Structure 1
Amino acid sequence: MSAIPRPAMRALGVRRTRRWRTAAGALGAALLVGVLGIPGPSSAADEPWMNASLSPDRRADLLSRVMTLEQKVALFNVNGEVTVPALGIPPRHEIDGTSGVHQSELPATAMPSALALASSRNRRLARQWGRQTSTEAFAFGYDGNAAPTMDVVRSPFWGRTWETFGEDPILSGILGASEIRGVQSVEGVYALVKHFGVYNQETGRAQLDNVIDQATMRGTYLRNWAIAARAARPGAVMCAFPKINGEYACESRRLLTRILKREWGWPGFVSTDVNAGHSWSMFEAGTDVAGAPWVGPALLDQVRTGAIPKARFEDMVHRILRTMFAQGLFERRAPGTTGGVIEPPQPLTEAVVARGEEIARKASLQGSVLLRNSGVLPLSSERTRSLAVIGSGADEYLTGTGSPQVPQPARLTTILEGLQQRAAGASVVYAEGTDPMRLGDVLPGPSAVQSSVLTPRGGTGSGLTAQYFANPDFSGVPFIQRTDPQVNIRTGLSSLIETFDEHTRLDPGPVPSPLLVQPGSVRWTGRLRPVASGRYTLSLTHLGAATLYLNGEQVLSDPGTTLNVQRVPVDLTAGQTYDVRIDYSADAPNQCCPATDRPGPTIRFGWVPPVDAATPQMQQAVEAARAADTAVVVVRDNVGEGTDRYTLTLPQGQDALVRAVARVNPRTVVVSATSGPVLMPWLRRVEAVVQAWYPGEAGGSALASLLYGDANFTGRLPVTFPASEEQVEGIVAGANPVADFSAIAPTVRYPERWAMGYRGYLANKQRPLFPFGYGLSYSRVRYQSVRASDVKRGKTGSAVVRVRNRSRRTVTEPVHVYVGRLPGRVSTPIRQLAGVKLVRLGPGRTARVRVAIDRRVLEHWSNARRRWVAPTGRVRVFTGPSAEQLRRSDVFRVTPRRRS
């Protein structure tokens, strides 16, 4: 049996093979009894479920028959103990693995954000990515890999945009299925795919209600899940936090039982997200697994009393066991899980680390998107003898917060390090330019006042003196006093999540407890010393009462009952010192506490200076750029789980930094290392822009290869970049969740139906900053023709696209095929992605590429008829570089299927 500890195996000269045979099972049982003292079956005949030639369903049935009720209840324990050692049932030990294994104790491969994988359009890479994360998860002792994130992006304001495959359900389904296959290609590991339902807002996520009709939900937000569930058969699915039409996703019988399990025929088990369970009724609705308090004696009591019907409970048991058998958990046990307790994880081997770095680098290379190039790229060693690298993120590990993030990258190369290594022989100068990112940067309003113009009350250092009180009225003695570089805090669930991630632990650390769990107040005092004269706008973005004093005079005051931005114009003189005092109380209604998903202390002291280079940090960066042949400015954000963005403007004055640098250096390249789309008001002032997303541990070396032309750009945008925030709101009403910031139970409606993402821009005749599918390269590819054959209703079709590489460089081109409106009176998208395929073209070469047309884009859901409808008639097919740059088209017919 696979419960034999590895040391005992080595002592007996036993070699572990991929599939244990019956004799090995008998030997394992003997060892369990004789060596570990754990009771076990006396012979192989007593454990027929270990016959690997039987189906997973049959094996699950055989094992379930011999299990006691108490043993079955123990099966639902997770991440803490061996489930049923007497029967050799392994534990379920799960961990997040969206962009690498979220292992806090040991280094792991930090992949780029999943948007980079989506940008690559590379199914093979998605499979390699999934296999690598499972290889590492298994090596650390885990058999459940919580990945990928399959939620479709409705709004660029969503804080978890970066861990998804973007805004198109077909692309998400194709890549998601490929990654799931990779995850489950490692024997002993199952995929726990997240987050099933409709989930695209962090603000108020625990009580949020998505009011959505069936056609919108099925046609956009579940379509990718249908592809993945049927094509890849993940072992488990994680149901989401929010409600759907008044019913929690984890309590929705329609969602979990009728659609997922019956309609799609999916055989795995449904697990809740952490704390996403709300009542015992979730089990009858279709949830199979939940954490505390829904386990142990409480679960046993529910089963014994019949509160959970016997048939439903047996189905829950069967689904868990079936997944464990299907994914080989009985045959191949994760290290550290073969004894009576789960042992601490061990470091990865050098070979695994090296392979992880290779895949991370490949994903960053293929996932980076060239958005603009006026000729400065590729860089040449001859022309670039000096390089200025600018931006606080250039020498940092760039990633978001929360469960998708890898706290300790195994082999990190920052962007600065990558450029220093590649530009050997050239002079490379680094300047931060701005303060680092903080959670308060997601708030609306002007950017935070930079630390370099602030002095604490003591007169030394940068920042302001902060006094924290464990009450909302500044009474008594502060429980802590420290220097805060900025007044720039946002707490609540997001700040608790931030404390789990080492890379976000900026000095002097997060808002101290007890303010994380109870209302409190803070007083900041010190001095402001501007370096430029003129009219400034000072601001407070806050929830809770806040007052700003300048030289003892009150200039701003507001009760802050809702999240507000207060502004005041003031004239300041360079070199003059101004006393600053800010009094803040976290006393707004519903402002406490993180455990209830409410925002805690939230405030930012912001400004709009009269000039761009308004701080010593920025002036230093400008001087470095002025002296260099080429300037590379790295801009970034920092969002993640529990943290939506409430503005698409770059934080910390980075727009001003880019403008200031571009003004003195005409050869300025901007690298955008962000969670998703951002506004680029400086776009026409710079020579090149690269969207690198969160680039992962190998992003520095990958980016250097791309900038110097050692590799060609092949990435294409998986999300639309808007021209303005107003443009987003005009397409998706309420896209910015700022109105829900302090709401107890917000409601999100979907009046746009299918018209979101690029489909919404087309329907509303809006031109975005960059459309879905956009991306440049160092090559020129011409789309010469497209031909599509007629297809029978309900079947998969195809289109043949002829493309030619008109350059002297080899290029990999993602060939996209879109279909137009469907026949009939029902409103369907003007264009929607039907398929994509990569083709590698040598210099001057031509290729005919056959792209499958997914049959799902040739049907629509009818709310009235409660089923999918596949109309017949003429459908136009398009191909081109992006959703708005279509070069060729054709028409094919969808014909009725013959009846036999």
Structure 2
Amino acid sequence: MTMKKALLGLALAAAALPLSAQQKPVYLDASKPIEERVEDALSRLTLEEKVKLTHAQSKFSSAGVPRLGIPDVWTDDGPHGIRPDVLWDEWEQAGCTNDSCVAFPALTCLAATWNPEMSLLYGQSIGEEARYRNKSVLLGPGVNIYRTPLNGRNFEYMGEDPYLAGKMVVPYIRGVQQNGVAACVKHFALNNHEVNRHNTNVIVDDRALYEIYLPAFKMAVQEGGAWSIMGAYNLYKGQHLCHNQYTLNDILKGEWGFDGVVVSDWGGTHDTRQAIANGLDMEFGSWTNGLSNGASNAYDNYYLANPYLKLIREGKVGTKELDDKVRRILRLIFRTVMNPDRPWGSMLSPEHYEAARRIGEEGIVLLQNKGNVLPIDLDRAKKIVVVGENAVKMMTVGGGSSSLKVQRELSPLDGIRQRVAGKAKVVYARGYVGDASGEYNGVVTGQNLKDDRTPEELIAEAVKEAQDADYVIFIGGLNKSNGQDCEDSDREGLGLSYGQDTVISALAKANKNLIVVNISGNAIAMPWVNEVPAIVQDWYLGSEAGSALAAILMGDVNPSGKLPFTFPVKLEDCPAHSLGEYTGKRSKDIIDIKYNESIFVGYRWADKQKKVKPLFPFGHGLSYTTFEYGKPVADSKTMQADGTLTVKVTVKNVGSREGQEVVQMYISDKKSSLPRPVKELKGFRKIKLAPGESKEVVFTIDKEALSFFDDAQHAWVAEPGKFEAIIAASAADIKGVVPFELK
């Protein structure tokens, strides 16, 4: 036997042995550092296999490498629940019977809890559901800034303040990823409205970019350790944000050191060479239907598929960028589906429903409570009238890619009925007809909400029932239909649709104990605000919507939510509409939208307007008890540039109920070389206090909290001078001020 044949025989014999009996490749050895595994796997890949890793093979998956035992990557739409499966190559439902989920509250509600512990619970719970369904990447959460109340997708985001959004997104990411599922933070960046989202070129100054629109993403990467980021549809500096040199290469991967994967939004890729060079790693959704575009497999014609391979083979581009993309994708795979310590996850568990309810309860905001109409006194209530379509309409279906197929959804009406059963009679009147439909992407609610009565007839019925009621609860607001809170569409105005204002005013005349519950992910106009004693901001609360709302209304839970964005009186009070640019008209051409308001978004703008007050300020939220703030004090009157300053304040519950208060700290720079907001949120703590109990809240101020972005230097700067630490219960409710100086 020749030496060559002997070696061949040994090789064949080794190949016949089980893998455990062979010398395992490093990439399979989980005891090795991930970077060693990445390099080992990379060295074994062919050019064709590398390219296949960078683009989709189905609606929601990209190919692995079967030859090397590297599995596919499966993504799933979040961020409020695990979306049902669709067919391999179509948007139609796959028809599975095991892909229903628990719907968690929308992220506006999560932000309104102002509680990082709730965010961690949210991430852990939704991550367990994603892991149980064996998803590699959860397409969420979203942290785009609330610039205009018309944005149809605001309900998926975390409000107007970058610090609040950043501090709330970090625990969510950690909670998801401890399940071996990657969080995919979106939409990076400047995705602040939906109409013309594919062809809006945002023009924004560097100060606003770095101070307002980027910080939450930066925290997601550097504090949350996000394993993936999704690019936005719109453009910045004339380049689409799914392959943008400035945001992806210069900032995300350069300045921030992001080592994860950049995923395109579905249909967000437009050019092969830009996709190669400008930071995109994985391309999804470039065809609507992969089987009907003139090729047997249209996924091979994606921008990062055969066109990429052709450029490499022709020597027109190199493989340096490809290897970087593949390293990132392999790193993602080893962190998720090839992580041997990945837990099993769970689905539809009692604990997940409990988490959804708790988050909903903490996020509901009591906006107004004149005469202490709330909580409802069940000892004297004999008849409670509930009015409004949103009391019965399912809200988990619709709204775009966050639409879900739930195992169950408890409506507000049913939640109230269950809570007061045997104590009071609950009567329902429709009041108005909004959108009677109930279907999105093949998921059907099964509700029949059709009602042919005239608006006058509906109001008359509601008023008649309200006249002898002990309490009237109007449950309305927005819904998840086009033109409301919905992806790919924006609202036409700040006001409520379907004639709801008329219904509310009529009910206010009929009964003094009127409670208005607004379900929305956006601010609304309230021309009836002075006619209504109690107003509750309720959000989209998911599977436990009814139980969470009922607990607040009946006083089982003391409301503790605070607004994550400002409610303006009218649209013109919003700087994006009074100073900046916004278009609600569809266009096929690239449209420039200028953010002329710069850094003055939300309460930063409201603070400048001495004569124009918001309807409800950022950070506002009432309680059924009363909190008394002591005088805040600092441990020093000066702060060295390389040190910190501690501010303390004591808060006491002087009411008769246990409650939670969000203590907010803002920083004011009294003199700066560049314009600065009157104040900026730089700290918050949520504390629980029993009646009569006091707690000391401590904030630590560092140089970063005092800094602004100097666009001339392209650097963060903290200028020596006088500052104030402002302790507040909202942006408009100042409790104490501590002056200090930065040396």
TM range (shorter): 0.7 to 0.9
Whether 2:348 is the aligned partner of 1:502: answer no
Partners of 1:212 and 1:245 within 8 A in 2 = no
Where do 1:98-497 residues align within 5 Å? 98-103=79-84, 105=96, 106-187=99-180, 189-280=181-272, 281-291=274-284, 292=286, 293-327=302-336, 329-331=338-340, 352-374=348-370, 375-399=372-396, 401-403=398-400, 405-425=402-422, 426-437=424-435
The amino acid that maps onto 1:157 is: L
* Cα drift, residue 296 of structure 1: 3.7
* Cα drift, residue 298 of structure 1: 3.2
Q: Deviations over 1:209-255 (max 9, x none)?
A: 10111111111100111112100111110010111122211232121
2:626 match: 780
Partners of 2:382 and 2:470 within 8 A in 1 = yes
Whether 2:600 is the aligned partner of 1:755: answer yes
Where structure 2 has 5 or more consecutive residues not aligned to the other structure, the ranges are 1-11, 86-95, 287-301, 480-484
In 1, Cα distance between equivalents of 2:393 and 2:84: 19
In 2, Cα distance between equivalents of 1:720 and 1:406: 26
Partners of 1:437 and 1:637 within 8 A in 2 = no
* Cα drift, residue 853 of structure 1: 3.7
In 1, Cα distance between equivalents of 2:67 and 2:341: 17
Instruction: Classify the secondary structure of the residue corresponding to 2:147.
Output: coil
Partners of 1:731 and 1:756 within 8 A in 2 = no
For the structure 1 residues 253 and 736, does the alpha-carbon distance in structure 2 shift closer, same or farther, using more than 3 Å as the test? closer
Q: TM-score, normalised on structure 1? A: 0.73
* Cα drift, residue 145 of structure 1: 0.6
2:550 match: 704
In 1, Cα distance between equivalents of 2:22 and 2:117: 40
1:821 match: 669
Where structure 1 has 5 or more consecutive residues not aligned to the other structure, the ranges are 1-29, 336-347, 440-494, 509-527, 531-613, 896-900
The amino acid that maps onto 1:288 is: D
Partners of 2:262 and 2:281 within 8 A in 1 = yes
Instruction: Classify the secondary structure of the residue corresponding to 1:769.
Output: coil
Partners of 2:478 and 2:519 within 8 A in 1 = yes
The amino acid that maps onto 2:74 is: H
Where do 1:58-77 residues align within 5 Å? 58-77=36-55
1:591 match: none
Instruction: Classify the secondary structure of the residue corresponding to 1:430.
Output: strand
* Cα drift, residue 40 of structure 1: 8.6
For the structure 1 residues 730 and 357, does the alpha-carbon distance in structure 2 shift closer, same or farther, using more than 3 Å as the test? closer
For the structure 1 residues 854 and 385, does the alpha-carbon distance in structure 2 shift closer, same or farther, using more than 3 Å as the test? farther
Where do 1:3-22 residues align within 5 Å? none
In 1, Cα distance between equivalents of 2:357 and 2:723: 40
For the structure 1 residues 204 and 86, does the alpha-carbon distance in structure 2 shift closer, same or farther, using more than 3 Å as the test? same
* Cα drift, residue 851 of structure 1: 2.5
Instruction: Classify the secondary structure of the residue corresponding to 1:224.
Output: helix
Aligned match of 1:91 in 58, 72, 78? 72
Aligned match of 1:627 in 468, 487, 495? 468
Q: Deviations over 1:411-452 (max 9, x none)?
A: 31100001101111211111111113379xxxxxxxxxxxxx
1:872 match: 720
Partners of 2:368 and 2:534 within 8 A in 1 = yes
State the identity as a percent. 30
Partners of 2:179 and 2:342 within 8 A in 1 = no
Partners of 1:150 and 1:224 within 8 A in 2 = yes
Partners of 2:387 and 2:462 within 8 A in 1 = yes
The amino acid that maps onto 2:427 is: V
Q: Deviations over 1:348-401 (max 9, x none)?
A: 96x743122111101110000000112111111122111111101101222573
In 2, Cα distance between equivalents of 1:273 and 1:157: 22
The amino acid that maps onto 2:349 is: V
The amino acid that maps onto 2:308 is: L
Q: Deviations over 1:85-135 (max 9, x none)?
A: 221212110011111112255321111111111010111111111121121
The amino acid that maps onto 1:785 is: K
* Cα drift, residue 259 of structure 1: 0.8
* Cα drift, residue 303 of structure 1: 3.3
1:597 match: none
The size of the alignment, in residue pairs, is 688
Root-mean-square deviation (CA), in Å?
2.6
In 1, Cα distance between equivalents of 2:430 and 2:639: 57
Whether 2:534 is the aligned partner of 1:688: answer yes
For the structure 1 residues 650 and 429, does the alpha-carbon distance in structure 2 shift closer, same or farther, using more than 3 Å as the test? same
In 1, Cα distance between equivalents of 2:329 and 2:310: 20
For the structure 1 residues 313 and 873, does the alpha-carbon distance in structure 2 shift closer, same or farther, using more than 3 Å as the test? same
1:50 match: 28
Instruction: Classify the secondary structure of the residue corresponding to 2:120.
Output: helix
* Cα drift, residue 144 of structure 1: 0.6
Instruction: Classify the secondary structure of the residue corresponding to 1:684.
Output: coil
Partners of 2:474 and 2:514 within 8 A in 1 = yes
* Cα drift, residue 307 of structure 1: 4.2
For the structure 1 residues 244 and 798, does the alpha-carbon distance in structure 2 shift closer, same or farther, using more than 3 Å as the test? farther
Partners of 1:729 and 1:736 within 8 A in 2 = no
Q: Deviations over 1:48-84 (max 9, x none)?
A: 1233333322221121111222222222244346511
